[in-house]
Structure formats: C-alpha cells, structure tokens
Amino acid sequence: MTKSVVIVGGGPVGMSLALALHKQGVAAEIHDLRPRGAAAGDQRILALSHGSMQILSALGVWSQIKATPITNIHVSQRGAAGRTRISAQEEQVEALGYVASSSSIAMALDHALKEAGICFHGESRLLDATPDDAAITLKLSSGDLQTRLVAYAEGKIGEAAEVVERDYDQHALICRLTPARPHQGTAWERFTSHGPFALLPFENDYAAVYVCKPTDAERLKAMPDAELLAHLQQEFGPRVQFSAVQGRFIYPLGLRYRAQPTAQRQVWLGNAAQTLHPVAGQGFNLALRDCMALAHGLSDAADPGAPELLARYAANRKLDRSGTIAITDSLIRVFSNDDFLLKHARGAALIALDMLPPLRSFLARRMMFGARAW
C-alpha cells in the first residue's frame, strides 16, 4: 500500500508538519531514528515569533507550551553610539515573541499527535530513498514502504549537490543568567566586535547566547562560575546586572542551506533545509512557516508528491526563505567586526531606526511574520 506522506524526523518540526497536514486532511506518518519521546529531552531554548505563536495556536498546542513573553527588544552595539527599542505596545500585539524550551514544545506536539491518532514510528532509521514518477520507495530499518511524498524535517543537511555554506568562525556559548532585577519581558541584542550577545527572557532568568571565537568559547566554558559571570558582565555592560550563571554548552555557527528545498517526490524543511546563525532567532520560525505553507499547498491533492505542487511550494516560499537567510547572514557580516567606518554606519542605522517608527515597525513585523509582513 502506498502511503500519502512520510515524514522523516520526529522533533518539533516533523511533528508540527504532521499536525498541519492532518488539519488539511492529508494523511501522514512519522519515522524517527530515536525512540518516541526523545525530543522531550532537548534542553535548547527557542525564540518564537508572534507568527509562530499563531501557528502553534492553530495546531491546537499553544495552551500546553510554557512560554515567556517578550514585550520589549533593546538593540545596541558595544563601544559605539546608537540603539533602538521595539515594543509590543507600539506594534499593538500582546507580545513581540515568546521564549520556550524545545522540550516543552515537543511534549505539547507529541500529546496532540496521540490525540489525533497520527502514527509515530520510533527507532526507524532511513537507509535509502528511491523516487520514480509514481512514488518514492523508502528503505527503513523498520521495513520498506512506498509513499507519494517524503518530507525530511529533522537533522542536518546531507552532502547534497547544491548546498551553499559559510563558516563564520564563531561558536555560541549558551547558558542561563539570573538578573539582579526582574527582566520584565525585555530581550536584549547587543552586538560586539566578535559577534552578538543576546539575552532572552526565560522564566525568571535570561537564556543567554554569547557569540565569540571558537578558542574563546572553549576557554569560557572551562571557567569557574564566578570568572565567567564577571566576563559576561563586562562584555554586556551595566544595563543589566547578573547575579548568577548556570549551565553552559557551546556549538559551532555557520550558514548552510540547500539551494533547492525540493526534488522528485521529496521536500526538506527545518535544519534539513537550512541551518542559520541564531542571531534574531529565525530558524525554527522559518521552519514553522514552511510547514504551514506545505500543508496548505497539499490540501485536497490527489498526489501530494506531484511535481507541480512541489514547484509551486518552492516558488511560494522563495521570498520568505531567501529573505530570512539574507537578513541573518547580513547581520553577522555587518555587525560582527570592529571596522571604524562600519561601526559608525551601524550606529547611524540604529539611530535612524529609533527615530523612524514606520521603519522600525516594518523590521519588527518582518521578524514576527516573515515575508507575509510585506
């Protein structure tokens, strides 16, 4: 029996796609190499845009996710003039975005899958995929099957023919910082000569993302808490005072994406399609928008893997996808350096944003909703 859609990957992106397809009346099942429930152990902290909250609400899971609202965003650069502030009140929304643990999102999605009766096959590894005009044959460790469409929704990008990549020569140090005073829902993005330093309000703490050279990241990870806390305080400046630091890990940063997110009876989403720099926190938000667009495009389709449907999906997502990739890449290349002229140009740009509400609102809505803000 030929399946309708098979999703490879049972993390938040794969589960979101399965639910989105189910809402559109498209049958799908998930195959994941990990045991079911493994995604609930993911300790990453994710920044969710206002648009992503709307998507997760439409999927019926938002009420079960423990999320901290972002009501204000403060953007500045270290050692130079210029800053701007974006507020939810000015944009007339309850929150500009939210911060939640990947584990909380995964548990809510998995519960919804069970409620919907969507099949989840754990410990099922994809070994090979062979497409033809009528279907695609999957060789899985759990057995072979045929499907009209396979959606790769998790994992890293394989060694595909058309992959664009850039090594930023940066690592991110991730930790939790406790502020001396309540954060009141304010997120901070502070650009330094070696990369951004972001603070995301999460519960009573900040989820901190400190970007630096790989050798510095290893050294900082090995520091005693008191020394690391002092270093991060000096790097961020006096605007927020930190009283404690806990938990730390590092990971390399780079840009890697498929030039084409579709192929014969195949589509790639999430980290399987693009791995972005965490500046502006757009990776998971872009993936959710891709999931919803794909699900809507396959609604009522006799053949979900038909070439014209996949071509239409890729064309419809091109502006949002390319724009999001370009924005994150440009922010790093323009802001992560100590060039004298660029430093003053950046300061002027931040001042202009602060003085021009329509421009500031445009940027805010692009971050909240993706290309549909246009």
Range in 145-154, 226-235, 349-358 the model is least confident about: 349-358
Q: What is the mean pLDDT of residues 110-123?
A: 97
Phi then psi for residue 258, to 5 deg, are -75, 130
Burial of 162 (0-12, 13-18, 19+ CB in 10 A): exposed
Q: What is the mean pLDDT of residues 255-274?
A: 94
Per-residue pLDDT band for 253 (boundaries 50, 70, 90) equals confident
Describe the chain by its helix, strand, coil percentages, rounded to 5.
40, 35, 25
Most confident range (mean pLDDT) of 72-81, 84-93, 132-141, 165-174 is 132-141
Q: Of 64, 66, 68, whose CA–CA distance to 94 is shortest? A: 68
> d(Cα 106, Cα 178) in Å, to the nearest integer?
25
pLDDT for 373: 43
Six token digits for residue 128? 């090979």
Give Cα 342 distance to the centre of its chain: 28
Does 293 score more than 90 pLDDT? yes
Helix residue ranges, H only, the chain: 12-23, 50-58, 88-91, 102-116, 214-221, 225-236, 283-298, 307-335, 340-355, 357-369
Six token digits for residue 196? 């951004």
pLDDT for 65: 97
Q: Of 255, 281, 260, 285, whose CA–CA distance to 270 is shortest? A: 285
pLDDT for 346: 60
Write down the mean pLDDT value for the chain: 88
Does 351 score more than 60 pLDDT? no
Does 360 score more than 70 pLDDT? no
pLDDT for 347: 58
pLDDT for 300: 87
More confident: 334 or 117: 117
Does 38 score more than 70 pLDDT? yes
Is 2-70+97-163+255-337 in CATH node 3.40.50.720? no
Q: What per-residue string of b and e applies to 308-328 under the rule 16 or more CB within 10 Å gives b? A: ebbeebbeebeebbebbbebb
Per-residue pLDDT band for 154 (boundaries 50, 70, 90) equals confident
Stated pTM of the model: 0.90
pLDDT for 86: 84
Does 155 score more than 80 pLDDT? no
Per-residue pLDDT band for 192 (boundaries 50, 70, 90) equals confident
Helices and strands (H, E) in the chain, number of each type: 10, 19
Most confident range (mean pLDDT) of 39-43, 160-164, 289-293 is 289-293
Per-residue pLDDT band for 40 (boundaries 50, 70, 90) equals confident
> d(Cα 269, Cα 12) in Å, to the nearest integer?
11
Q: Of 298, 328, 329, whose CA–CA distance to 313 is shortest? A: 298
Q: What is the mean pLDDT of residues 258-273?
A: 95
Q: What is the mean pLDDT of residues 327-355?
A: 63
Q: Over pLDDT 70: what percentage of the chain? A: 86
Sorted by where each begins, the domain ranges of the chain are 2-70+97-163+255-337
Q: What is the mean pLDDT of residues 269-282?
A: 84
Range in 179-183, 217-221, 345-349 the model is least confident about: 345-349
Q: Of 253, 307, 287, 258, whose CA–CA distance to 160 is shortest? A: 258
